[in-house]
Amino acid sequence: MPSPNPAYIGALIDLVNASPFPTHMLMQLKSIAFDHAVVSLRTDTCHLQPFGIVHGGVLATLIDTATFWAAFLRLPADDGLVNIDLKLNYLEPVSSGMLTATGRCIRAGRWLSYAEANVTEADGKLVAHGTSTLMALPGKGLDLKVNKFLGG
């Protein structure tokens, strides 16, 4: 597998972080590498359910996003990716603070990949864990006007 182009990584992070949904969620892609991604979210009142804790959908979104980007770089440049299965466990309630989702691609295949993510609070406390199965979408890659891989 060729090395990812640092210029592509920078353009990708900029695109993701300026996109409507991550902006709406106050979520940022912090880093991406082969089989690894880190996503962060500073909780705000918009993330809380009526009982004053972060809504489970916020944690699910973090897991979905971290697993997605952890698997993404293994794809050919012209392929996109879609989540086809998401399983998660909520382990601790959260009411405020910075949340970090760390994704790891466990198996990268040509058509299907499998990834996991942990969501932790700023002190490292594990609050949620999940897994995701992702499917490649040929012809649906991102055109960032920069080669995805060095030499390519």
- CATH, residue 60: 3.10.129.10
- For the chain, the average pLDDT equals 96
**146 falls within a domain:** no
Provide the domain count of the chain.
1
- pLDDT digits 0-9 by tens, 6-55: 999 999 999 999 999 999 999 999 999 999 999 999 999 999 999 999 99
Rounded to 5°, the CA angle 20-23-27 comes to: 130
Q: Which of 24, 19, 123, 139 has the alpha carbon at shortest distance from 69?
A: 19
pLDDT at 152: 59
Strand-pair category, 27-33 with 112-121: unpaired
Domain of 77 in residue numbering reads as 6-138
Report the distance separating Cα 23 and Cα 80, nearest Å.
21
CA dihedral of 134, 121, 18, 104, whole degrees rounded to 10: -30
Query: Please, is 141 exposed, middle or buried when counting C-beta atoms within 10 Å of its C-beta (0-12, 13-18, 19+)?
Result: middle
- pLDDT digits 0-9 by tens, 88-137: 999 999 999 999 999 999 999 999 999 999 999 999 999 999 999 999 99
Report the distance separating Cα 77 and Cα 44, nearest Å.
36
Report the distance separating Cα 137 and Cα 92, nearest Å.
35
